[in-house]
Amino acid sequence: MTAKLKTAVLGATGYSGLELTRLLGRHPRTDAPLLLRRSAETADSNGHGLDLPHVPGNGSGRGDRTLQPFSWSALEQHGVELLFLATPHAISRELVPEGIARGLRIVDLSGAWRLKQEQNRAIYGFKDANARTAAELTERAVYGLPELNADRIPSAALVANPGCYATSVILALAPLLSNGIVDRDRGIISDSKSGVSGAGKEPTARTHFVSVADNFSAYSLFGHRHTGEILEQLALSSCQLTFTPHLLPIPRGILSTIYVYLKSEMTAEEVQSCFQKFYAGKRWVRVFPPSSLPEIQFSVHTNYCDLGFCVARDGLRLIVVSCLDNLLKGAAGQAVQNMNLMYGWDEGEGLQ
């Protein structure tokens, strides 16, 4: 029997980290992951030890899901080959250089290594211990959107998992922009709405129940961290895209409504063909027929990104609707999809 891949998850107590732990625990080609905690995480708010007793092992009979303190020696002792980081951006930026130097492969769910351009990366305010090494790793990191970079991910040592909003917008626009049918100079508008889990597990005044329930609000106008990802991956300038995120009073899910002008008149059938050809063979993107639009409820708890559209009667204006689960296709599911590509497995392994 072929030995199973040994993985570890640092940050398993967060929303994305917990989803990732569940997926790896049932993946047919991985052992139950080693669960690690940062040294600062010693107990929960009630003073209890950090553990995940409700997360099963991968048929191993191992019932102990207690998080161990992170150390490089723990990874070496357990024979870990692939490390998942579901950590704050600054932590990932700090750990990755040594992890790569030690020969580990890494899938990072934070924004630490997604951005190549300094003006976009500046929003994170990273202070690298070794600027030269950080610059080299920034160039080596592969943006882990399989539908665009499936040819580069298999050989990558460092995969930067995309942001959830960015995934929804990039997948909606990539077929149109690559075919040169969008009038970029007239501007692209994306109104994107996310469930509360997209803000992470650490509570804030904005994400408390009293603030979220029976409410709907915009935030981070002209300043959201995922904007740079969208610009870089789609080769857009900042003046060509207006991206506005909103907070929905639901636990999970993203719906992006994207408005574009076309260079010349197009029919719904022509737009449909553009999407279908671009995503032919891409199992985790579902293109809806012109007569219907995706909804959050269709993609939540799956790794699908659902795309639908409507062409105006003049044939020159197009609205694209993109839906996905921010914790799966927008985070943990996409991380597993990237792992599958890195090791030459089918992209659907462990995600059905």
Residue 90's CATH number: 3.40.50.720
- 172 lies in which domain range? 164-324
Nearest Cα to Cα of residue 200 among 9, 7, 8, 18 = 18
Element of type H or E holding 52: none
CB 171 within 8 A of CB 308: no
Instruction: Determine the Cα–Cα distance for residues 19 and 32; give it in Å rounded to an integer.
Output: 13
Does residue 297 belong to any structural domain of this protein? yes
- CATH number of residue 214's parent domain: 3.30.360.10
Query: Which of 44-58, 93-107, 177-191, 212-226 shows the lowest mean pLDDT across its residues?
Result: 44-58
* 61/118 same-domain check: yes
Does residue 1 belong to any structural domain of this protein? no
* 17/93 same-domain check: yes
* 191/307 same-domain check: yes
pLDDT single digits (tens) 182-235? 999 999 999 999 998 877 667 676 777 767 787 888 888 998 899 999 999 999
What's the pLDDT score for residue 352?
Answer: 84
* 189/139 same-domain check: no
* 290/261 same-domain check: yes
* 228/245 same-domain check: yes
Confidence of residue 47 (pLDDT cuts 50, 70, 90): very low
* 185/279 same-domain check: yes
Query: Both tokens of residue 200?
Result: 């992470």
Nearest Cα to Cα of residue 71 among 37, 109, 112 = 37
Nearest Cα to Cα of residue 174 among 279, 290, 312, 71 = 279
Nearest Cα to Cα of residue 70 among 84, 90, 54 = 84
Catalytic residue set: 164
* 320/335 same-domain check: no
User: Residue 37 carries which DSSP code?
Assistant: E
* 135/185 same-domain check: no
* 304/205 same-domain check: yes
Does residue 338 belong to any structural domain of this protein? yes
Count the domains in the chain. 2
Residue with tokens 């990104």: 305
pLDDT single digits (tens) 236-283? 999 999 999 999 999 999 999 999 999 999 999 999 999 999 999 999
Does residue 252 belong to any structural domain of this protein? yes
Asked whether the predicted pLDDT for residue 54 surpasses 70, the reply is no
Q: What is the dihedral of CA 197, 198, 199, 202, to 10 degrees?
A: 40
Query: Both tokens of residue 342?
Result: 């890195």
Does residue 348 belong to any structural domain of this protein? no
Instruction: Determine the Cα–Cα distance for residues 228 and 240; give it in Å rounded to an integer.
Output: 12
**Sheet of 142-143, strands arranged across:** 68-69, 34-37, 7-10, 82-85, 105-108, 158-160, 142-143
